[in-house]
């Protein structure tokens, strides 16, 4: 997430590791420094895996942890720290760990490290940002509690019924099972998310309680370990783990330099003081080809930008009114003129990054056709005024104003863009059913499955269904896809669900994002993946 979706891709900060090894001789230290790189990030919100839901923190965790599952070039899951992940019924999954892995403090990585970390993340009172990723595991509901009279009421929320997930069972030190509350063929992919990393015993001062200071010197099981502690709003340094049992990076260390301003980072990139900037700011896109030459690059990302129609606003209850607004928008003009081709027009409801994507599921409703848009608008008594509300801290004003101008010209009505200071302010108004008009939203996938673009955004009661869309037929197809025995069968159900969205138009698809990144002359083999992370195993310093 995102908004830029603070529940999934926000920006903020916190993290422990109990030791950091120094280099031996002076010449080795110099060699190590010359083979280390600088990557720019925003200040993370958190570094506890179950609480890390934004890109800056996820980039650091990619260095410090070795995941159970990762994804290949086609975004298909494969085992990394896991020896195998198997299931006969898509409900009970057996995870077997590869032998020989240790945490940075020397602890052996065992099944309990995963079970303890996931139980901590799922326990409601711990208020972990990624807690909902465990909700498919049996027993999750019993770990939640709700304040009976709201957050501000005098009564405190009752203790949950349980503190551990019944669906997690240790078989032996290298094996555990995960029982889901319902079958889900895509569970292997879900376990590739950051929330499913393990934590060492040293992370806990008592069962279920993170030790003070752990998050500022975090101990992982990955190819790099913390060097010192997290220097908030400044940097996080990591160095290579000697004798690492997994895939070994070609670099000796990374300084994750923390920037508050993307333009300042770009100036450092051009000057050679930053080796990778994962997203060139819009203001610098025009100059980047000249400044960087072949070092200005693009790669696929999973971002989906859209606006939603709040169901409580009767002005948009007619589907033809919704379709007319969509047809009044010239997506290509906005992506060309505002985003300089750094994003692409969207005419589907799921990203090209996932299996099952189809190029134009929205059909005529997403084609720029001002004549037909005006006709539909008039025939269906569309309102005389439209408002688009967006979060002002996300850099959205320019394209929202451009979109409003297109709507004004095509429909001959008034259109206004209204900025709320923060995304949370916008959501508060939506929750209170205050008049906000169309709602600016965005999504970055958590794992590469169609379901991740459908269930959370459009299912009845979905975690990010802020506009309140509900269609029982859609809900059933998403559930049937999740319960399907094979990914192919699942995709067929999910595609049928997407077809319903094209008929109902609960949102207007606008743009798919891409990574527009740059690197210094010092490094080569630079890749930025669909999760906006630098591939730390491939990047290397030029010899």
Q: What is the largest CA-CA distance in the chain?
A: 80
User: Model confidence over 252-303: pLDDT tens digits?
Assistant: 999 999 998 888 999 999 999 999 999 998 889 999 999 999 999 999 899 9
Please say whether the beta carbons of 432 and 41 come within 8 A: no
Displacement of CA 340 from its chain's centroid (Å): 24
What's the length of the chain? Answer: 543
pLDDT of residue 14: 20
Non-local CB neighbours of 88 within 8 Å, separated by 6+ positions:
none
C-beta atoms surrounding 231 within 10 Å: 14
pLDDT of residue 427: 81
With both helix axes pointing from N to C terminus, report the angle between 472-483 and 487-504 in degrees, rounded to the nearest 10: 170
User: Model confidence over 525-538: pLDDT tens digits?
Assistant: 999 998 889 999 99
For the chain, what are the domain ranges?
A: 67-100+110-197, 300-514
Q: Residue 30 carries which DSSP code?
A: H
Q: Residue 524 carries which DSSP code?
A: E
pLDDT of residue 151: 47
Q: What percent of the chain shows pLDDT beyond 70?
A: 92
**Residue, of 150 and 417, whose pLDDT is higher:** 417
DSSP string, 107-125: PBP-HHHHHHHHHHHH-GG
485 bridge partner residues: none
Token pair of 47 as six digits:
């570094």
Non-local CB neighbours of 375 within 8 Å, separated by 6+ positions:
none
Please say whether the beta carbons of 238 and 220 come within 8 A: no
When the pLDDT of each residue in the chain is averaged and rounded to a whole number, the result is 90
Non-local CB neighbours of 139 within 8 Å, separated by 6+ positions:
162, 164, 165, 166, 167
pLDDT of residue 423: 77
Whole-number Å distance between alpha carbons of 81 and 69: 7
User: Model confidence over 315-355: pLDDT tens digits?
Assistant: 999 999 999 999 999 999 999 999 998 899 999 999 998 99
Q: Which of 107, 112, 122, 118 is nearest to 221 (CA)?
A: 107
Q: Which of 111, 134, 107, 117 is nearest to 210 (CA)?
A: 117
The verdict on whether omega for the bond into residue 4 sits within 30 degrees of 0, i.e. cis, is yes
With both helix axes pointing from N to C terminus, report the angle between 319-327 and 370-379 in degrees, rounded to the nearest 10: 160
pLDDT of residue 2: 34
DSSP E strands, 432-506: 438-443
User: In the predicted model, what is the mean pLDDT of residues 299-310?
Assistant: 93
**Residue, of 311 and 204, whose pLDDT is higher:** 204
Displacement of CA 505 from its chain's centroid (Å): 24
Q: Report helix, strand or coil for 51.
A: helix
pLDDT of residue 432: 85
Q: Residue 137 carries which DSSP code?
A: B
pLDDT at 20 over 50: no
Please say whether the beta carbons of 392 and 421 come within 8 A: yes
C-beta atoms surrounding 206 within 10 Å: 7
User: Model confidence over 125-180: pLDDT tens digits?
Assistant: 999 988 989 999 999 999 998 754 444 444 566 899 999 999 999 999 999 999 99
Phi first, then psi: give them for residue 61, nearest 5 degrees.
-65, -25
pLDDT of residue 36: 97
Residue 31's pLDDT band (boundaries 50, 70, 90)?
A: low
pLDDT at 7 over 50: no
**Residue, of 43 and 421, whose pLDDT is higher:** 43
As its CATH architecture, domain 67-100+110-197 has: Alpha-Beta Complex (3.90)
Whole-number Å distance between alpha carbons of 320 and 342: 31
CATH match of 300-514 with 3.10.105.10: yes
In our burial notation (b when 16+ CB lie closer than 10 A, e otherwise), range 519-535 reads bbeebeebbbbbbbbbe
pLDDT at 13 over 70: no
Displacement of CA 206 from its chain's centroid (Å): 31
User: Which helix (H) or strand (E) element contains residue 416?
Assistant: strand 414-420
pLDDT of residue 147: 52
Same fold, 67-100+110-197 and 300-514: no
Token pair of 427 as six digits:
């959501």
pLDDT of residue 422: 76
pLDDT at 76 over 70: yes
> Which region holds residue 385: left if phi is over 0, alpha if psi is between -120 and 50, else beta?
beta
User: In the predicted model, what is the mean pLDDT of residues 505-518?
Assistant: 96
Please say whether the beta carbons of 166 and 141 come within 8 A: no
User: In the predicted model, what is the mean pLDDT of residues 80-95?
Assistant: 96
pLDDT at 237 over 50: yes
User: Which helix (H) or strand (E) element contains residue 226?
Assistant: strand 224-226
pLDDT of residue 155: 52
User: Model confidence over 194-216: pLDDT tens digits?
Assistant: 999 999 999 999 999 999 999 99
pLDDT of residue 32: 59
């Amino acid at each position: 997430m995102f908004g830029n979706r603070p529940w999934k891709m926000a920006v903020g900060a916190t993290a422990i590791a109990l030791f950091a090894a120094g280099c031996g001789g002076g010449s080795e230290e110099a060699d190590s420094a010359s083979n280390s790189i600088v990557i720019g990030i925003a200040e993370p919100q958190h570094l506890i895996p179950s609480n890390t839901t934004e890109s800056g923190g996820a980039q650091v965790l990619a260095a410090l942890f070795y995941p159970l599952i990762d994804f290949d070039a086609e975004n298909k899951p494969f085992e990394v720290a896991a020896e195998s992940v198997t299931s006969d019924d898509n409900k009970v999954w057996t995870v077997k760990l590869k032998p020989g892995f240790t945490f940075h403090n020397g602890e052996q990585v065992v099944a309990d490290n995963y079970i303890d970390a996931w139980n901590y993340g799922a326990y409601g009172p711990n208020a972990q940002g990624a807690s909902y990723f465990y909700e498919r595991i049996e027993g999750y509901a019993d770990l939640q509690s709700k304040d009976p009279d709201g957050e501000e009421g005098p009564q405190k929320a009752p203790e949950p019924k349980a503190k551990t997930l019944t669906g997690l069972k240790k078989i032996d030190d290298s094996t555990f099972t995960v029982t889901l509350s319902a079958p889900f063929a895509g569970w292997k992919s879900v376990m590739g998310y950051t929330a499913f990393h393990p934590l060492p015993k040293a992370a806990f001062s008592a069962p279920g309680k993170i030790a003070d200071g752990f998050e500022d010197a975090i101990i992982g099981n990955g190819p790099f370990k913390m060097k010192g502690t997290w220097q908030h709003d400044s940097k996080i340094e990591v160095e290579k783990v000697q004798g690492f049992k997994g895939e070994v990076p070609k670099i000796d260390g990374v300084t994750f330099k923390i920037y508050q301003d993307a333009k300042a980072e770009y100036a450092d990139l051009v000057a050679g003081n930053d080796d990778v900037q994962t997203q060139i700011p819009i203001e610098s896109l025009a100059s980047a080809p000249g400044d960087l030459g072949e070092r200005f690059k693009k790669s696929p990302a999973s971002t989906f930008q859209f606006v939603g129609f709040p169901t409580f606003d009767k002005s948009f209850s007619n589907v033809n009114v919704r379709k007319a607004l969509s047809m009044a928008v010239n997506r290509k003009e906005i992506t060309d003129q505002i985003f300089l081709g750094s994003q692409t027009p969207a005419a589907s409801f799921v990203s090209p990054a996932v299996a099952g994507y189809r190029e134009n599921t929205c059909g005529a409703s997403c084609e720029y056709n001002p004549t037909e848009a005006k006709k539909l608008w008039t025939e269906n008594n569309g309102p005389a005024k439209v408002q688009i509300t967006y979060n002002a801290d996300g850099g959205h004003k320019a394209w929202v104003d451009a979109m409003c101008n297109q709507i004004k010209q095509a429909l001959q009505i008034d259109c206004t863009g209204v900025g709320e200071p923060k995304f949370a302010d916008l959501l508060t108004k939506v929750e209170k059913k205050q008049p906000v008009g169309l709602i600016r939203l965005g999504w970055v996938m958590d794992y590469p499955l169609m379901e991740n673009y459908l269930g959370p955004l459009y299912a009845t009661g979905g975690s990010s269904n802020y506009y309140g869309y509900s269609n029982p037929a859609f809900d059933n197809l998403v559930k049937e896809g999740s319960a399907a025995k094979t990914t192919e069968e699942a995709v067929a159900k999910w595609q049928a669900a997407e077809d319903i969205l094209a008929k109902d138009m609960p949102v207007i698809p606008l743009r798919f994002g891409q990574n527009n990144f740059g690197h210094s002359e010092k490094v080569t083999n630079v890749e930025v993946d669909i999760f906006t992370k630098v591939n730390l195993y491939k990047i290397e310093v030029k010899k």
